[in-house]
Structure 1
C-alpha cells in the first residue's frame, strides 16, 4: 500500500470495509482518542466493538503507545464483569482494538430514559462493578474513570465495566506506576479528590468514583456540579456531599451509610479495596436486595456518550433543519441532467422525510467500490444518495462528511442512517435494519422526529418477525412521543408503519390494546 492510499484509508470512514478478519458494519461512537465501530469477526461469526485510533493521533508515538497500553492492561483482565479484549493490532497503518460488543445500554443511557434506579437494582449494579474492580485490583490495575457511561447493562442481567483507557498499572516488583501522557485524567464529575489534585492514586480512588456514580444513579444527580471542570474539582476537594437520605428517604440506613463511606474525602476513611465493599454489600438487610432486572435492555444499542453529547449540541440546528421545508443548497455544478432535475424538485418544496423508498431487494453486503461521486457539500451528497437509493450511496454521506465535523454533517448522517434502515428492512436484513433504527431511538428527547422513524422501523421489524410483544413495546413508545413531532412528519412516520400496524396504532392511541 502506498503512503497516499494509507492516508486516504485513515481519513475516510471505514464503514463497509473489511480489515483483516473484521468487516466494519457501522459507527457506534467516538471518544477523544478513538472511533468505535460495530464489526463482524468473520472467522468466528460474532459481532465485536472495533476501536480505531484516530488518524491524527496515529502519527504521534506517545498516543500509539498509550492506545496499545490500554489494550494490554484490559486484555489481562478476564472476568464476567469486564468488557473483554479480543485482539489488538495494526492493519494497513490503522491501529485497532477488537473487543467484546455488549448489546444493551450503559448506565447513563438507562438513567436518561428511566430516571433514578431502585435500591435493589442499585445494589445489584454495585455488586457486579465491585467484582470487576476486585479482579482489576488483584492484578494491580486501577480503572481511574469509573462513571455511568463506562458501566454497561446487558439484557442477560450482567453488568460489565468498559474502557480501561485511563488504567494505571502498578508494577508489583518496584512499585513504579505507569500512566499515560503524564497528565491528570478522568471525568471531573466522578473524579476522586486525590485524582483532581494530580496526586498518586490507588484502588481507593476507584471506590470514590464508584460512590459518585452510585449517588448519581440513586438520586438522579451527581453530588457536585458546576459550570467548569475546575469548580467541580474544588467541590470534590472541599465540599461535603448532601446526605443521600435527604434525596432518597426510602434507602435503608445501612445502604445510605455505605454510599457515604465511598464518598469520604480521605482515602483512609473509604473502603480500602473492592473486597471490603463486596463484604459490606453482602451484609445489607435482605429487604434491600432485589435481583429483578430491567426487561427492555435488549432494544438498546451501545453508543458512546461522547457521540450522544455531540448530537445534543447539534439539536437546535437539527430542529431548525427539520422544520424548514425549503433549503438553499447553493449553486450545484452537475454533469447529469437528471441530477439537476432532482435538485429543482427538492428546492421546489419537497420535504426530505416524505421521499418514498425503493422496494427492490438489495444484494448484501455491498463492498465500497469508490464508484460514488463526491460532491462539495453534505446536502448535495445526501440528495445524490437519495437519487441512487443504494446502501453504498447512503454510507458515503457519512464517509465523505464525518458527522463529528459539524452539526450539519451529523444531521444528514442521521437522515442517511434512517434511509439505510428502511433499505435493509425492505431487503429483509432485519439485523442491520435494527442496528440503524436503534441508533435513531437512542437519540435525545429533542430529536423526537428521528426517534419516531426509528420506533416505527423497529415495530415493522418485530411485526414481520411475528413478535407481538415487541411490537406493542415499540408502538407504546411511539405513542408517547408522536404528539411532540411536527404534524407533517407525524403523518409520514405513521405512513411508514406496515399497513395492518397503522390501524393498530390508531386504536392504541384511542386506548385500544394490541392483541
Structure 2
C-alpha cells in the first residue's frame, strides 16, 4: 500500500497516472488513468517486429518515464511489453508503477525477501532472478530484453519453465541482435546489448545515460512517425464510449463515498474459506471483490450486431455493448473450429456470458457456460479458474455451501499454474457476502 502511494506521486506524460490508492473496508484498490490504444505486446502480436525508428521512439519515451521514477527513488521491477502502452496520440506510457518498489534511501538499493521476486521471468534481470538487491539498473536490463523482443520478435532467452529462463539470464549471453536484425545500425545495436549486460556495472547506470545515447543516434535511426492502427475497433462506433465515461464518473463517486465510510470489515464464511485455501497453497494475494459496479452495467445495444473484420475486433466491440447477443456473435461470426485464435476469443466471450447471466441471476445459463470452461483441458487453466470461481459464486448465491467448497478446493489445486495477475482477477470474482 505504501509503495503504491509513492507511485501515485509520479506525474509524467510517459507514466500511466495513478489517481487514487485506497482501502474500502479492508479491500485495497488502485484507480489509474485509462489509456486508449494497445500495449506493446498486442501491437507485436498483430504487426510483428517493430521498425528501428519506432523502436528508438518507444525506448526514448520509456527511458523518460524511468528517469522520472528514478529521481523519486522508485524501481518499476516489471518492465515488459504488456506494461508499455502505445496511445494513438503518439505517446508511450509505462503502466503498473503501482506494483513498483521504493528504493531504500539508506543504501540506494531495494532488498527483497529471500525467495520473493517481482517481475516476469522472460524480462527479469539476473540480480532479480537471484532475489538479490536491485536498483534502477535492473529496470535497464528488463528494458533491454523488451527492446530485443520488439525488434527481433522473440526475447533473448526462452524455456519451458520459469527456472530454465532464469538460469539463462544468469549464465547465458544473448545472441547479438545484429544476427537477427542486420538492418539496425551498429550504434543502436550496441545500446541494446549494453542494456543486456549481466553485470549491472556494465549497463547504463541511469535512465538519463540511456536517453543521451539515444539522442546521439544517427538521423537514419530516428523516426517520429507513429502507427495508425492502434485503435482496437472502428472509432465510428466509439460514441458508445460516452456511456463508459458516465459509468466511470458514477464509479468515481461511489468509490469516494465508500472511502468516507468507517467500520470493520467482516468476512463471511465463504471468503474466509477461500483465504484459508489460498494461504495453505502458498498464495498470499491482494484481492478485491468482483461485483456489479457501474462499469459492468450493460450499455444500450444497437439494433443489430455489426460484423467486424477480425475476431479480436468483434470481441472488443462485444465488450463495449456488454450484451449476451453481442458476445454470442463472436462465435457465430468466427467459428471456434476455424482457428485457435477464434477458439480463444470464443472462450473469452463464453466467460463473459457466464458473468452476465450470473449478474442477471439466471443461474442455469451461467452454470452451463462456467461448466464448459471447467471441463477444458489442462492447457487452459486460466479459463478453468474463472469457471470454478463462477460456479462457486452461483452455489454461494443459492445458499448451497456443500457445492461451494468443492469448487474452491478445485480452484486451489490449479491456482499456482495460472499467471499471478490472472490469479488476482479470479480471486476478485469471488463473492464475499
TM-score normalised to the size of structure 2?
A: 0.57
Q: CA deviation digits over 1:254-307, x for unaligned, max 9?
A: 001111111111111110000000000000000111001010112369999999
Query: Relative to 1, partners in 2 of residues 1:477 and 1:317: Cα closer, same or farther, differing over 3 Å?
Result: farther
User: 1:73: how far off?
Assistant: 2.7
Equivalent in 87, 97, 101 of residue 34 of structure 2: 101
Moved more, 252-261 or 297-306: 297-306
Worse-matched range after superposition: 399-408 or 319-328: 319-328
Contact 1:441-1:450 at 8 Å conserved across structures: yes
Distance 2:213 2:192 in 1: 11
Q: Flag the structure with higher strand content.
A: 1
Return the alpha-carbon distance in structure 2 between the equivalents of residues 393 and 284 of structure 1.
48
**Higher-helix-fraction structure:** 2
The answer to whether residue 261 in structure 2 is matched with residue 261 in structure 1 is no
State how far apart, in whole Å, the 2-side matches of 1:350 and 1:131 are.
Answer: 35
Task: Tell me how far 1:69 sits from its aligned partner.
Answer: 3.1
Instruction: Indicate conservation of the 8 Å contact 2:39/2:84, yes or no.
Output: yes
Q: Which residue of 1 aligns with 2:139?
A: 206
Is the partner of 2:30 in helix, strand or coil? strand
* Secondary structure at the counterpart of residue 245 of structure 2: helix
- Of residues 331-340 and 400-409 in structure 1, the stretch that sits farther from structure 2 once superposed is 331-340
Alignment partners' CA distance in 1, 2:423 and 2:101 = 50
Quote the RMSD (CA, aligned, Å).
18.7
Residues 169-178 or 377-386, more deviating:
377-386
Of 374-383 and 249-258, more deviation after overlay is shown by 374-383
Q: Are 2:44 and 2:50, in contact at CA under 8 Å, matched by a contact in 1?
A: yes
Q: CA distance change for structure 1 residues 150 and 395 in 2, over 3 Å: closer, same or farther?
A: same
Is the contact between residue 288 and residue 428 of structure 2 (CA under 8 Å) also seen in structure 1?
Answer: no
Question: Within the alignment, does 1:388 sit opposite 2:316 as a pair?
Answer: no
Conserved 8 A contact 2:101-2:110: yes
1:89–1:96: 8 Å Cα contact kept in structure 2?
A: yes
Q: Secondary structure at the match of 1:299?
A: coil
The separation in 1 between residues aligned to 2:115 and 2:385, in whole angstroms, is: 45
Confirm or deny that 1:73 pairs with 2:6.
Answer: yes
Higher relative contact order (CA 8 A, sep 6+): 2
Change (3 A) 1:448 1:301: farther
CA drift at 1:344: 39
3-state SS in 1 of match to 2:243: helix
Aligned-pair CA distance for 1:136 = 0.5
Of the structure 1 ranges 90-99 and 262-271, higher mean CA displacement relative to structure 2 is found in 90-99
Offset at residue 438 of structure 1 (A): 25
Distance across 2 between alignment mates of 1:194 and 1:184? 10
How far apart, in 1, do the equivalents of 2:206 and 2:261 lie? 60
What secondary structure is seen at the aligned counterpart in 2 of 1:307?
helix
For each residue in 1:472-493, what CA deviation from the matched residue of structure 2 results, as whole angstroms up to 9, or x when unmatched?
Answer: 9999999999999999999999
For residues 473 and 446 of structure 1, the distance between their equivalents in structure 2, rounded to whole angstroms, comes to 21
Query: Where do 4+ consecutive residues of structure 1 move more than 4 Å?
Result: 173-176, 178-182, 300-500
Alpha-carbon distance, 1:393 to partner: 13
Stretch deviating more after TM superposition (345-354 or 196-205): 345-354
Q: Deviations over 1:349-398 (max 9, x none)?
A: 99999999999999986899999999999999999999999779999999
CA contact (8 A) 2:298 2:322 kept: no
Gapped regions of structure 1 (runs ≥ 5): 1-67, 501-515
Tell me if the contact between 2:251 and 2:294 (Cα under 8 Å) persists in the aligned partners. no
1:110-139 CA distance string (max 9 Å, x none): 000000000000000000000000000011
Deviations 1:437-483 (A, max 9, x none): 99999999999999999999999999999999999999999999999
CA 1:411–1:123 in 2, change beyond 3 Å: closer, same or farther?
Answer: closer
Over 3 Å counting, the alpha-carbon distance change for 1:365 and 1:176 in structure 2 is same
SS of 1:293's partner is coil
> How far off its partner does 1:199 sit?
1.0
Which ranges in structure 2 are unaligned for 5 or more consecutive residues? none
Q: TM-score with structure 1 length normalisation?
A: 0.49
Q: Indicate conservation of the 8 Å contact 1:245/1:256, yes or no.
A: yes
Cα 1:144/1:458, change in 2 over 3 Å: same
Give the Cα–Cα distance (whole angstroms) in 2 for the partners of residues 141 and 100 of structure 1.
19
**Residues 180 and 406 of structure 1, relative CA distance in 2, 3 Å threshold:** farther
Structure 1 residues 88, 237: CA separation in 2 closer, same or farther (over 3 Å shift)? same
Q: 1:110 to 1:479 in 2, by over 3 A?
A: farther
In 2, the alpha carbon distance for the partners of 1:335 and 1:476 equals 17
User: Does the CA contact (< 8 Å) of 2:318 and 2:327 recur in 1?
Assistant: yes
Deviation at 1:161, TM superposition (A): 0.5
Would you say the 8 A contact 1:73–1:164 is kept in 2? no
Secondary structure of 2:20's match? Answer: strand
How many angstroms apart in 2 are the aligned matches of 1:180 and 1:483? 20
8 Å CA contact 2:354–2:366 kept in 1: the answer is yes
